[in-house]
Structure 1
Amino acid sequence: MNKWLYRLKHAWAVILGKAKISYVKKGGFSFRDFTYSENEIQFLNSLKIEFLFSEFGEQRVNGGGADFQDKRTRLDPSLTSLRKYFPNAKYTVYSDFDLKIDGVNLIKVNSPVAHPEHPRYGYRTADYFKFLSLTESDADFKCVLDSDMAIVSSDVIALIHLTRKFGFCVPYNDRQLLRQDMIWSQDTQPIEDESLGLGHSYNQSPMTLWKDDERGNVFYKKCAEIMKKDPSRSSLVMWKTAWETGIYPYILPKQWCLCDGNEGLGEEVILHVGHEKIKEYYDQ
């Protein structure tokens, strides 16, 4: 649907009293925040929707620098902001400890990832179960994301439509080139394939999968297999999978995982408030 038809649809719903429009305004920017129409609510209620988390280690550690010790649960701000738009969805967390949160299904697991002595073992384990959880869920739409994300727009419903259309989606990586990602990031390895590291790098939150999408299931299962046997930074694991299988995901634009350096970009949907600069800029 083009944007003008979309706006006309919502404007007419407002006139009929079936929808309300509100914008969250701060510091000269605003987020699109429509109340879902009756048709959109009916669409959401027709699906099995599951949001997945992967949290390991009882002490919360955030690599982006922001402090979330004041948050209501270990999964906030992601959990609370998701529930605003998807109150009837299923919420599940994979963890190695008794992480008890009301309304969240706990799957307690042990890590099978190689090299437990490695300092990045916890990150590797969390990403392994992100990949695996997408293939284990029986939902129509499944989405895994980190706990330090803030969903700020009702436009998040588009993620379901994008996933249904393209099968599986992953977020844009600000470094773009895999070679640059390996130069500037932790837990990397040499790039040994013929691409010379000149392919596009991927991020990991949010990642989505449509239930019966064969290509997406193959992709995430292979990612889990590589992370288990030959663990490293997830963007490299995902690239290895794409190069080996010839299967690659739809890349979401920056607005779906807004990171440092993109403050005030506009049309924001999900803020990575685990990045301290993003958190401070949007004053979450």
Structure 2
Amino acid sequence: MMTRIKNALSVLLGINEVKKKKQKDFSFIDNPFSEQQLEILNSISIEFLFSEFGENRVNGGGSDLNGSQRLDPTLSSLKKYFPNAKYTVYSDFDINIPDVDLIKVNSPVMYPEHSRYGYRTADYFKFQSLINSKADFKCILDSDMRVVSSDIVSLIYMTIKFGFCVPYNDRQLLRQDMILSKDTQTINDESLGLGHSYNQSPMTLWKDDSRGVEFYQTCSEIMKKDPSRASLVMWKAAWKTGLYPYILPKQWCVCDGNEGIGEEVILHVGHKKVKDFYN
């Protein structure tokens, strides 16, 4: 304590200058896939999915992405590592991107007058797209993310092992997520909101893993009939079924406040601070 006081006084008196925090040097792992990894990639079907609703691109994280095509930077950064994968987007308007299949749909979610209706619809079709896909490995992502590491291949192995994966939510506690977020509800179950909250990009499912299918189907049904923030919908599904996904660490969805943590795999560059830090 006395040392900190002395340092502060020396700065005030002009004896020492304030040391600026240096931005952490970082580099991303970008190794060629091994023969074993290539063997897996060539032996299974892979599909990456998107859920985009509303012709005007809205990014709540603060980054300006309007200069990019609708699915970038996620699409182009995925194709670097998975050029032969299938790419599909669910949408309510025409999205014409080479080598991307479009599935036009109408939203079945209740309360279309609600200000969060678009977000709710997008999350509904995130869950549905995983169930509907016929691929062995299926993964849904938001379009404002950038894959920066060849370690992305490990997501396939973890999905094979655990059946279905979802990303860590930086707020961790569901109760805190509901306090700090939009489109929330009161938590009425016996957990009192003390369970772990989930994020929604990336989410994965392996083939027809019965637990994952039941979990995502329950998420869809809840979102359709009792829509709210997706993290709460996912918690309700877990509480109802007793099934829950493997939670991916921060490195799989590096958000505002986690810049420079190391071992980054996917950056959420829709968050302006993340985009600026890694630029």
- Give the TM-score of the pair, scaled to structure 2: 0.91
* Offset from partner CA, 1:15-40 (integer Å, 9 cap, x none): xxxxxxxxxxx961010000112332
Give the alignment of 1:55-134 within 5 angstroms: 55-71=52-68, 73-134=69-130
- What SS class does the counterpart of residue 101 from structure 1 fall into? coil
Are positions 1:202 and 2:198 aligned together? yes
- What SS class does the counterpart of residue 49 from structure 2 fall into? strand
Q: Identity over the aligned pairs, expressed in percent? A: 74
Are positions 1:52 and 2:64 aligned together? no
Structure 2: distance between partners of 1:81 and 1:213:
27
More displaced stretch, 37-46 vs 60-69: 37-46
2:208 to 206, 212, 219: 212
| Structure 2 counterpart of 1:244 | 240
Structure 2: distance between partners of 1:180 and 1:167:
28
| Structure 2 counterpart of 1:14 | none
Q: How much has 1:238 moved relative to structure 2?
A: 0.2
Structure 2: distance between partners of 1:263 and 1:27:
9
Matched-pair contact (CA < 8 Å) for 2:92–2:106: yes
Q: Which amino acid in 2 is paired with 1:67?
A: D
Select the structure of larger CA radius of gyration. Answer: 2
| Structure 2 counterpart of 1:135 | 131
List gaps (5 residues or longer) in structure 1.
1-25
* Offset from partner CA, 1:47-103 (integer Å, 9 cap, x none): 1000000000111001111111121x2000000000000000000000000111100
- Give the TM-score of the pair, scaled to structure 1: 0.89
- What SS class does the counterpart of residue 27 from structure 2 fall into? strand
- What SS class does the counterpart of residue 174 from structure 1 fall into? strand
List gaps (5 residues or longer) in structure 2.
1-22
- What SS class does the counterpart of residue 159 from structure 2 fall into? helix
Structure 2: distance between partners of 1:167 and 1:42:
20
Q: How many residues align?
A: 257
Give the aligned CA root-mean-square deviation in angstroms. 0.9
| Structure 2 counterpart of 1:260 | 256
Structure 1: distance between partners of 2:60 and 2:133:
27
- What SS class does the counterpart of residue 28 from structure 2 fall into? strand
